[in-house]
Amino acid sequence: MELNMFMQHFINALGLGSLYGLIAIGYTMVYGILRLINFAHGDIFMLGAYFVFFATIQYKLPWALGLIIAVAGATLCGLLVDRIAYRPLRDAPRISALISAIGVSFFIENISIVIFSGMPRPVVQPPALMRAFSLGGVRLVPLGIMVPVISFVLVGALLWMVYRTKPGLAMRSISHDIETTRLMGVSVDRIIALTFAIGSALAAVAGVMWALRYPRVEPLMGIMPGFKAFIAAVFGGIGSIPGAMLGGISLGFVEIMSVAFFPDLSGFRDAFAFILLIAILLIKPTGLMGEKLEDKI
């Protein structure tokens, strides 16, 4: 494979990987705090894509405004999901919350089919983002550069928030010991809501960029990226934000490069992520950067 061809794939993989990473952060933060796989997260990502679609394509608003609407709308949905479906089950066995999560995910998918119709809809990409240019023989579009850059900036901001601010401290504290944190006078439910809000906002940003990259939206578009992002979170070490990003990018590279080098395997593309998951769970269940979770007796 020629070098500039390889670079093309490299940029592609970085873009896809950082999108997986952005979604994975939502999974990893919620799991780190509540030990709950938020199955609805992939669907929040889908809602983000739909909100921007309606704002910009249907109502002809500028993309920047569309992005804000998408983030606000998805954040609201994320908060509602937590309030309605997860908070009543905080003290229930964890498996009940998991079933509730499955129910919510199923609900969002089906209500979207009812409201938005099941037909995929094309997204018109803004021409400014798609104007191709050449950099050292590699053909690029601004969007291809924008996606990883925006993702890394957001992750940087998030890390600052988690490690340098009071709510961030509270989040880390809850993930260690929820009861003690409550006794310290932290409003646990509010911090958990904040976690859901942040995760949903990042998923919405990923949804907007996904809709721009693969220019269409459909109600079930969140399922596969959602699963894969969760796998990325496990791969990177669940509970760790840099781990989620690292896991996402690794997964992006595995998918793009395996198909680039072995085009015959393109039909199996979706299987790679799951094989990677099972491999990492067997070799190093805590993931690349995760801490060991002890079983409590």
Partner 1 sequence: MSQPSENKNPARNKAMTLIALALFVSFLWWAQSHLDGYKIRIINLIAINAILGLSLNLIYGMAGMFSLGHAGFMAIGAYVSALLILTPEQKVAMWILDPIAPWLPGIHAPFIVSLIAAGLFAALFGCLIAMPVLRLGGDYLGIATLGFSEIIRILITNLTPITNGPLGLKGIPSHTSLWMSYGCLLVVLICMTRLMRSNFGNVLRAVRDDEIAAKTMGVNTFSTRVLAFTMGCFGAGVGGALMGNLITTIDPKMFMITQTYSLLMIVVVGGLGSITGSVVGSVLVTTMLEWLRFVENPVTVGSIQIPGVPGMRMVIFSVLLIVIIIFRRDGIMGMNEFSWDRFFSFCGRALKERGAS
**Residue of 19, 231, 244, 254 that binds partner 1 (CB under 8 A):** 231
Are 147 and 23 in contact by the 8 Å Cβ rule? The answer is no
Is 107 an interacting residue with respect to partner 1 (CB under 8 A)? Answer: yes
Nearer to partner 1, 130 or 275 (CB): 275
The site string for partner 1 over 201-230 (x = CB under 8 A, - otherwise) reads ----------------------x---x--x
d(C-alpha 148, C-alpha 136), whole Å: 19
Can you name the residues that pair with 217 across neighbouring β-strands?
121
Is 6 an interacting residue with respect to partner 1 (CB under 8 A)? Answer: no
**Residue of 62, 72, 110, 122 that binds partner 1 (CB under 8 A):** 110
Is 92 an interacting residue with respect to partner 1 (CB under 8 A)? Answer: yes
Contacts with partner 1 by CB under 8 A: the residue count is: 44
Is 291 an interacting residue with respect to partner 1 (CB under 8 A)? Answer: no
CA-to-CA dists, residue 83 to 64, 86, 99, 113, 196, angstroms: 29, 6, 16, 23, 10
Nearest to 70 by CA among 89, 56, 82: 56
The distance of closest approach from Cβ of residue 9 to partner 1 in the complex, given in angstroms and rounded to an integer, is 22
d(C-alpha 261, C-alpha 147), whole Å: 24
CA dihedral 208, 212, 215, 216 (to 10 degrees): 10
The distance of closest approach from Cβ of residue 165 to partner 1 in the complex, given in angstroms and rounded to an integer, is 29
Are 154 and 202 in contact by the 8 Å Cβ rule? The answer is yes
CA-to-CA dists, residue 193 to 67, 80, 156, angstroms: 21, 9, 21
**Residue of 5, 80, 102, 124 that binds partner 1 (CB under 8 A):** 102
The site string for partner 1 over 19-58 (x = CB under 8 A, - otherwise) reads ----------------xxx---------------------
Is 274 an interacting residue with respect to partner 1 (CB under 8 A)? Answer: yes
The distance of closest approach from Cβ of residue 43 to partner 1 in the complex, given in angstroms and rounded to an integer, is 11
Nearer to partner 1, 135 or 275 (CB): 275
**Residue of 62, 88, 120, 137 that binds partner 1 (CB under 8 A):** 88
3-state secondary structure 241-269: HHHHHHHHHHHHHHHHHHHHHCHHHHHHH
Is 120 an interacting residue with respect to partner 1 (CB under 8 A)? Answer: no
Is 289 an interacting residue with respect to partner 1 (CB under 8 A)? Answer: no
Nearer to partner 1, 155 or 230 (CB): 230
Binding span for partner 1 by CB under 8 A among 41-49, 53-61, 175-183, 277-285: 277-285
> Alpha helix (H) ranges present in the chain?
3-34, 41-53, 63-81, 94-116, 127-130, 142-164, 166-176, 178-183, 188-213, 223-236, 241-261, 269-283
d(C-alpha 81, C-alpha 106), whole Å: 12
Is 79 an interacting residue with respect to partner 1 (CB under 8 A)? Answer: no
Q: Which residues bind partner 1 (CB under 8 A)?
A: 35-37, 84-85, 88-89, 92-96, 98-100, 102-104, 106-107, 110-111, 113-114, 118, 223, 227, 230-231, 234, 267-268, 270-271, 273-275, 277-278, 281-282, 285, 295, 297
